[in-house]
């Protein structure tokens, strides 16, 4: 059944809110310029609970002894459907997406006071969208104004994300299946870009190879602005211009993932434009690859989230010593953070509907412990910005290797498959 996992998630949230009421709007359509819109992207929390793709929609979950799951959405509109295409309308949406009730979005503000009256708590993501905050405060005040009629406004406003984030951090079977497909598509995109790469090309030509493969295989597009950075551009962590020619002897770093059914993949590969790693490129690449292997080996249930970063960092810092970027003991260099000019980000993050997915990393003062079903990225890097402290032959080298993994019962499952070792990369780039 199409709506089964979503109805199950709504049921879990209803349990979490007791006799409260939760309000979960989807994202607005966003203007790009004048009357042109960005492609529509729903809100991730709304999608997690509904799978409903249209804008102008909101879920209301009314907890208590007889819990109700309600959708407000656009009405059918024959004329608008000629211009903009199909819309479900409340009746068909209720049926297809398994809600108990569904109403026209235009009725939401009028119905909201009655839905929140006499509930102990109102759960909402305050501060995300001021237009929604205003609607909700308006409904609270409308209930308060009826106090003498015996209506009670919720005494507490609770953070909806605090209830949903722990759920989102563990992927269920449907999510795992989609994320594996997204990873397969993104892996094919990276392999395609490697295979197509030739000296004389520009960064945007490789971006086009990725976009082609993502769309050809049914992904909705990129999950985030792709980075295609030749040479020293790779040392700029958020480089997205992708407009430079590629140097014949340079490395190119591509950080790109597709979005499929709302879920992100997130892969980085770094490879030589020529198809063959030079000696120094090889030495630097092997360090990052070894750091990634150490990180992957440190991902297991019970390990604190930070453990795999620490494992990667030790290998990277030893590599910095071997490359004569730093001198001293690894422990001292880690303690003094002397490595930071060359490695300044964490080794990964949660992955899911958002590329930097929902969920805390700490619980109180302690790092969250990994448990089976979590999805995360493993992405060590080494960035040797041109400068006085970097030996001449290493200047401008930026390398990151990023894969996606699920925590399993006894370790982790790296489920991205783009060519990763030097031998694999050189093989897919071979011209003969």
Catalytic residues, by residue number, are: 35, 238, 255, 266, 345, 349, 356, 379, 383, 400, 402
CA distance 240 to 111: 45
Stretch that binds Mn ion, among 44-52, 72-80, 333-341, 375-383 (CB under 5 A): 375-383
Least Å distance, CB 226 to ligand GLY, is 8
Burial 240-264, CB ≥16 within 10 A → b, else e: eebebbbeeebbbbbbbbbbbbbbb
Does 255 interact with Mn ion (rule: CB under 5 A)?
yes
Residue 119 contact among ligand GLY, Mn ion, none, beta carbon within 5 to 8 Å by kind:
none
Residue 209 contact among ligand GLY, Mn ion, none, beta carbon within 5 to 8 Å by kind:
none
Which letter does DSSP use for residue 153 in this model?
-
CA distance 16 to 18: 6
Interface residue with ligand GLY, options 54, 255, 354, 357 (CB under 6 A): 255
Does 224 interact with ligand GLY (rule: CB under 6 A)?
yes
CA distance 386 to 393: 10
Residue 43 contact among ligand GLY, Mn ion, none, beta carbon within 5 to 8 Å by kind:
none
The contact mask relative to ligand GLY for 386-425 (x = CB under 6 A, - = no) is: ----------------x-----------------------
CA-wise closest residue to 375 among 236, 256, 265: 265
Q: In the chain, how long is the greatest CA-to-CA distance? A: 84
CA distance 303 to 215: 37
Place of tokens 């982790």: 412
Strands of the sheet containing 156-159, edge to edge, are 101-104, 68-73, 58-62, 21-25, 121-124, 156-159
Least Å distance, CB 401 to ligand GLY, is 11
**Which lies closer to ligand GLY via its Cβ, residue 261 or residue 402?**
402
Does 69 interact with Mn ion (rule: CB under 5 A)?
no
Stretch that binds Mn ion, among 23-31, 179-187, 334-342, 372-380 (CB under 5 A): 372-380
- For ligand GLY, how many residues bind (rule: CB under 6 A)? 7
Residue 224 contact among Mn ion, ligand GLY, none, beta carbon within 5 to 8 Å by kind:
ligand GLY
């Amino acid at each position: 059944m199409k709506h089964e996992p979503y109805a199950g998630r709504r049921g879990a949230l209803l349990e979490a809110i007791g006799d409260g009421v939760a309000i979960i709007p989807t994202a607005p359509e966003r203007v790009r310029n004048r009357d042109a819109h960005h492609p529509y992207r729903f809100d991730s929390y709304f999608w997690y609970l509904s799978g409903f793709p249209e804008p102008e929609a909101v879920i209301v979950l009314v907890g208590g002894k007889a819990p109700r799951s309600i959708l407000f959405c656009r009405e059918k509109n024959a004329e608008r459907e000629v211009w903009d295409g199909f819309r479900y309308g409340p009746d068909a949406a209720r049926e297809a997406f398994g809600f108990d009730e569904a109403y026209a979005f235009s009725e939401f503000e009028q119905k909201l006071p009655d839905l929140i009256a006499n509930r102990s708590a109102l759960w909402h993501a305050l501060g995300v969208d001021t237009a929604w905050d205003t609607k909700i405060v308006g409904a609270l005040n409308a209930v308060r104004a009826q106090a003498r009629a015996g209506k009670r406004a919720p005494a507490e406003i609770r953070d909806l994300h605090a209830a949903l984030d722990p759920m989102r951090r563990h992927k269920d079977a449907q999510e795992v299946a989609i994320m594996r497909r997204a990873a397969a598509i993104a892996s094919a995109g990276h392999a395609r870009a490697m295979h197509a790469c030739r000296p004389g090309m520009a960064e945007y030509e490789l971006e086009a190879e990725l976009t082609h493969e993502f769309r050809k295989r049914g992904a909705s597009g990129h999950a985030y602005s792709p980075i295609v950075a030749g040479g020293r551009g790779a040392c700029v962590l958020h480089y997205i211009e992708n407009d430079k020619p590629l140097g014949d002897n340079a490395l190119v770093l591509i950080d790109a993932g597709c979005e499929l059914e709302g879920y992100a993949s997130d892969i980085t590969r770094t490879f030589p434009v020529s198809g063959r790693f030079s000696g120094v490129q090889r030495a630097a690449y092997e360090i990052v690859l070894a750091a990634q292997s150490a990180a992957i080996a440190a991902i297991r249930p019970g390990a604190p989230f930070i453990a795999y970063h620490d494992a990667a960092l030790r290998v990277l810092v030893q590599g910095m010593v071997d490359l004569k970027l730093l001198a001293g003991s690894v422990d001292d260099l880690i303690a003094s953070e002397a490595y930071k000019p060359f490695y300044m980000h964490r080794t990964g993050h949660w992955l899911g509907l958002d590329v930097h997915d929902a969920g805390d990393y700490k619980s109180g003062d302690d790092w969250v412990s990994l448990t089976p079903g979590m999805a995360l990225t493993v992405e060590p890097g080494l960035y040797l910005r041109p400068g006085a402290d970097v030996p001449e032959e290493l200047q401008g080298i930026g390398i990151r290797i990023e894969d996606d993994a699920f925590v399993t019962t006894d370790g982790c499952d790296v489920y991205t498959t783009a060519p990763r070792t030097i031998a694999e990369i050189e093989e897919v780039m071979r011209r003969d």
